[in-house]
Structure 1
Amino acid sequence: MSGFAKLVIYEDNHLLVVNKPAGVSTMGDENRQTLHTLAGAYLKQKYQKPHGVYVGIVSRLDAMTSGVIVLARTSKAAARLNVQFAQKSSSKHLEKTYLAIVQATNGVAANLSDKGTLSDYLYKDDAAHRMRATAGPQDGAKLAELGYRALHRSDSYQVMSVVPKTGRKHQIRVQFATRGWPILGDRKYGSPLQWSDGIALHSQRLTIEHPTRREPMTFECPPPESWNQYWRPASE
């Protein structure tokens, strides 16, 4: 329990907010422990519940992405949080902020301004087991939008603060990679380099409305130490 306890950012009767390590699937991996199974074991031991506990998955992070994620400890909390995440564009309080290190791909990277919005239509390429971007609507494609702001620049990479406006699968990874700026370590979408902690994509901040108190709550955690060679938050 002590190992998982170090990952817990906040806990009450309805919520469990965790700093997910890269390399851990949120759920659904039958061959390895997932965040769902680890959280269940932690709560079961901590509260001495031999017959199990409720852990609701209301949003996901890619296995190779680190950072803040919220789990529900009650079915009531899960239902209300599911509504928030499903209606993200109209939710009063819900907001996610990610950090990403993107690296220019030689010869094909488009210029990125210091801040802006990326808009594409994403669809699933089942044969290639990945998401694809297209500039306009097509069958099976859904609109994906995000806002970004550059926090640090070098000749070959940029550190970005990213706020998704939609919640499409692999959205941040695909939208930057499409413009020749794949996330560092994201070999699936074109990065030429390995990354020691999954990929250089981190869920830095999450704001939700508490499911019972109905008040906004914001949770934050810094990126892994492996980021230090590229950038450190100003607060450090």
Structure 2
Amino acid sequence: MPLDIPIVYTDNRILLCLKPPGVVSVDQPGGLPQRLRAQLGGEGVCLRTVHRLDQPVGGLMVLARSRQAAKLLSQQMEERTHFHKAYLAVVRGKPADREGTLRDLLGYDRTTRQAYVAQEPGREVRPAVLHYRVAAHQGEYTLLAITLETGRTHQIRVQLASRGLPLVGDCKYGAPPADMEGIALWSYRLSFLHPQSGEGVAFSALPPAVWPWSVFDLRGMEDAREEGGGG
């Protein structure tokens, strides 16, 4: 019997939860919306996905509880105005600079289901931009706080891996196997305009105190203001 999905906040328009690594974000059997509906009372519960996390990624997600709420949240994401997401990541190695911006052209190979850094523009090649800050460093591991300007498939994973900084546990992009659930990427902060009140709201949640997150002292990260574009 699967464990319940942790619910951080809910009202009649939105639901904030912590997606466990290994659970798909989309509305399919065993996916996050269906599991939440089962917790909340059955198939009649309206839950609409407005953004995604890769299957091996965990952390905060917001789902809409009405069609109108989904429309308004999706609009914020498309306009890249008020919907902001921040991530924590643990990588092997250490960036040369304590903070910086990574800019690449990314493509996606549908056969291998992997993103890649392209050398020149192409039909399905898109610009990708992320901002990072070194939050801590311990031994061979570095904790990064990351925000996105764009939301490309596997963007954080491939941009870091292409610079010799693979996410811990991310074998798909060159990291050695690790004894952990999913990969060391966590959605830890979401902020947006509430679809009913129009007021700005923000939620944060730290990753579980298991390896490799337990290598670092995460106290203080939960209240950090890492604003950036949705994606």
Q: TM-score, normalised by structure 2?
A: 0.88
> Structure 1 residue 161 and structure 2 residue 145: aligned?
yes
Which of 212, 219, 223 aligns to 1:234? It is 219
Which of 55, 79, 89 aligns to 1:100? It is 89
User: Residue 37 of structure 2 corresponds to which residue in structure 1?
Assistant: 40
Q: 2: distance between equivalents of 1:149 and 1:195?
A: 26
Question: Which residue identity does 1:100 align to in structure 2?
Answer: A
Instruction: Quote the offset at 1:189 in angstroms.
Output: 0.4
> Structure 1 residue 208 and structure 2 residue 208: aligned?
no
- Counting helix residues as a fraction of each chain, which structure ranks higher? 1
Q: Write out per-residue CA displacement over residues 156-187 of structure 1, whole angstroms, 9 at most, x where no aligned residue.
A: 22110000111111110010001111100000
Instruction: Quote the offset at 1:128 in angstroms.
Output: 1.8
Conserved in 2, the CA contact under 8 Å of 1:67 and 1:204? yes
- The structure number with the bigger radius of gyration is 1
Secondary structure of the 1:69 match is strand
Conserved in 1, the CA contact under 8 Å of 2:26 and 2:33? yes
Conserved in 2, the CA contact under 8 Å of 1:184 and 1:199? yes
Q: 2: distance between equivalents of 1:195 and 1:94?
A: 34
Question: Which residue identity does 1:76 align to in structure 2?
Answer: Q
Conserved in 2, the CA contact under 8 Å of 1:120 and 1:136? no
> Structure 1 residue 58 and structure 2 residue 50: aligned?
yes
CA RMSD of aligned residues (A): 2.1
Conserved in 2, the CA contact under 8 Å of 1:56 and 1:72? yes
| 1:76-115 equivalent positions in 2, closer than 5 A | 76-88=68-80, 91=81, 93-104=82-93, 111-115=95-99
Q: TM-score, normalised by structure 1?
A: 0.87
Q: 2: distance between equivalents of 1:219 and 1:34?
A: 22
> Structure 1 residue 70 and structure 2 residue 62: aligned?
yes
Q: Write out per-residue CA displacement over residues 110-161 of structure 1, whole angstroms, 9 at most, x where no aligned residue.
A: x531000001111111222211112442221011100000011234221100
Q: 1: distance between equivalents of 2:83 and 2:96?
A: 27
Flag structure 1 segments of 5+ consecutive residues without an equivalent.
Answer: 46-50
> Structure 1 residue 197 and structure 2 residue 184: aligned?
no
Q: 1: distance between equivalents of 2:32 and 2:202?
A: 21
Q: Write out per-residue CA displacement over residues 64-112 of structure 1, whole angstroms, 9 at most, x where no aligned residue.
A: 1110000000001001111111222xx1x221110000113xxxx8x53
**% same residue:** 35
Secondary structure of the 2:41 match is helix
| 1:145-156 equivalent positions in 2, closer than 5 A | 145-156=129-140
Q: 2: distance between equivalents of 1:71 and 1:85?
A: 13
Q: 2: distance between equivalents of 1:68 and 1:172?
A: 16
Q: 2: distance between equivalents of 1:165 and 1:206?
A: 14
Flag structure 2 segments of 5+ consecutive residues without an equivalent.
Answer: 222-231
Give the total of aligned pairs.
Answer: 220
